[in-house]
Amino acid sequence: MKNPNSKNGKSILFTCQNNKSLDILEKNGRFINRKEYIRQHFGDIAPTILRAYDWFVAAASKKIRKPDDVQYQIWCVPSSDVCMKPIENEVIYVLEVPDEEILYFNSFKWDYIINYHYVPENEDDLENYTKEMELKGFANTYEFLIGRYAGKFPLEEKRIRESWKRIFDISEWNTREIQANLWEIKKEWVKCIVNPGEAIPEKYCIG
């Protein structure tokens, strides 16, 4: 889906990042995400998070080519209203990005993936799937991938993994649900930097 706020083939995006990224951006002219950054951020739960991230990287790479030196995604939001506020050692990047560099996805559906669940088509599909799993005696469907059922029910595992591609199905532009994937932040895309306690300039505010 195209961003309805796109102008001249570019869209405004917002992302909150560690302020150390500013030095990397200044030195290299671009900032990319690396595995060590994710490990530092998530600590002990990083291995579980990275398994889901690895799936996302593989799936997103089929839609927009990933540069060879990029390890992981950079996630942004298309609305200033839902952008995380920076805390100490963080900043907000306000970016103007060519539309061909952006891949939109549904963040609500990502919640299912990060918890290793089946991503339903709709509420009816979720209700039917839940009832089916209950009839089969499965209480915790995330365990097909990372728990006691792992490797024992390959058809159910395949069904879950195949459902994950629905994360890229967007039928309605709702900035409360939509996020954007970038493979990198280029210096020339940066419109401004917002520090803790500062407001995003009104001219970039998108609701």
Amino acid at 93: Y
Predicted TM-score (pTM) of the model is 0.93
How many angstroms separate the Cα of 177 from the Cα of each of 80, 91, 124, 160, 206? 13, 22, 19, 21, 15
Token pair belonging to 110:
């990502």
- Give the CB-side neighbour count of residue 81, counting CA atoms within 13 A: 8
Q: What integer best gives the mean pLDDT of the chain? A: 94
Instruction: State which H helix or E strand residue 52 sits in.
Output: helix 46-61
DSSP state of 200: P
Q: Note the pLDDT of residue 198.
A: 95
Q: Note the pLDDT of residue 89.
A: 94
Q: Residues near 32 by Cβ (< 8 Å), separated by ≥ 6?
A: 67, 69, 70, 71, 74, 183, 184, 185
The helix, strand and coil proportions of the chain, stated in percent and rounded to the nearest 5, come to 45, 20, 35
Q: Could you read off the pLDDT of 173-185 as tens digits, one per residue? A: 999 999 999 999 9
